[in-house]
Amino acid sequence: MKKGQIFLQISLYMILLCFFIYLNSYAEISEKKGTAVLRSLTDVFSVLPEGQSPLGQTKRGEVISEIPMEKVEDLEIREIRRLIIFSNLEEEIKIYKKGRQRIIIIPDDVLFDEQYKIKTKVFPFLKKMCKILSKSQYSIKIEGHTDNIPIPNFSNNFEFSAFKALRLLKFFINIGNINPHRLSAFGYGEYRPLLPNNSPEDRSKNNRIQIILYTKEEKDFKKINALKKPPTFFRFKNFIFKIFGGEGL
């Protein structure tokens, strides 16, 4: 083989190598852009609770933000959100996320009557929510919370908040048919308020039930990797090229 042909063949190999390196770099850039786009959409479509900045930092220093509808790993949460809307309770019942937790906040005046029995008119909503949760793999923690005003017939607000949580837990077991092994109930009294107890409106928000769902281990925007095409290998002469790849050869 003449020197000119050898030089031409080597030049062709180098051009092909540069081309595939470029394709691989473009794929990685596109993935980063996809992640950035998803994060941007999350910021745009999230409805943040009162007093929270767009970065998810509340006035009280706790990171908590409402879940976007498009979060693909929380299909049950999307169903519950739709149920809340169809039940005309979107102004009262809120869903938030905090790390691996999904938090459903229900005010006392929505859930309980004056004797702190669960209102019959909220039974259909709770039954449908239990049906959704019974199909999921979430661990379910029910928390009772109060304001700082003592309640008659209860020795303290710890006891009162635990009473509320246990009442809803019994509903989940006896009427909602949720496996008791997945359930727990706690009362925190007045010591985990959402807002200072400075007004009747703020105290009303602090009197609440929180249903906390613990998800499996997750990574943000993991669908990018799940939907990512597997790498394609290309052999030319004695060289093997991988295009649109992720891991090293």
**144 in helix, strand or coil?**
strand
Residue 13: what pLDDT? Answer: 76
Six-digit token string for 9: 């063949």
Assign 3-class secondary structure to 174-216. HCCCCCHHHEEEEECCCCCCCCCCCCHHHHHHHCEEEEEEECC
200-204 contact pairs (CB < 8 A, 24+): 202/147, 203/147, 203/148, 203/149, 204/107, 204/108, 204/109, 204/147
Residue range 119-153, pLDDT digits in tens: 999 999 999 999 999 988 889 999 999 999 999 98
Closest of 175, 74, 76 to residue 122, by C-alpha? 175
List phi, psi (to 5°) of 184: -150, 155
Confidence category of residue 71, pLDDT binned at 50, 70, 90? very low
User: How far is the C-alpha of 54 from the C-alpha of 44, rounded, in Å?
Assistant: 9
Burial label, 229 (beta-carbon count in 10 A; 0-12, 13-18, 19+): exposed
CATH number of 74-214: 3.30.1330.60
pLDDT of residue 219: 43
Alpha-carbon separation of residue 25 from 116, 239, 243, 249 (angstroms):
62, 19, 9, 15
In this structure, are residues 216 and 189 in contact, taking their beta carbons and an 8 Å threshold?
A: no
Distance (Å, rounded) from C-alpha 107 to C-alpha 160? 15
pLDDT digits (tens, 9 = 90+) for 29-66: 444 455 554 444 444 444 434 434 333 334 443 434 44
Which carries the bigger pLDDT value, residue 71 or residue 180?
180
pLDDT tens-digit readout, 194-222: 999 999 999 999 999 999 998 765 443 34
